[in-house]
Amino acid sequence: MKELLLATCCGAIVGMVFSIVKFPMPAPSSLPGVLSIFGIYLGFRLVEWIREFM
């Protein structure tokens, strides 16, 4: 849980810095983009889980 909190705080700080210096957001700006990143992560973990049982 501590890792999740630290990652969220770090992401928020990076987002604020990008906004202050007026850089484009370093992540997808729409829900489908965010879900595609989640899907990539989920697929990666699924393959690791399957390999564990083979």
Q: What is the pLDDT of residues 22-43, one digit of tens each?
A: 988 777 778 888 888 888 899 9
> Is residue 18 exposed (0-12), middle (13-18) or buried (19+ Cβ within 10 Å)?
middle
> In this model, does residue 8 exceed pLDDT 80?
yes
CB 12 within 8 A of CB 25: no
- The residue segments making up the domain with residue 37 are 1-53
Q: Write out the two tokens for 18.
A: 């990008």
Number of domains in the chain: 1
**Helix, coil or strand: residue 53:** coil
pTM (2 d.p.): 0.57
> In this model, does residue 20 exceed pLDDT 90?
yes
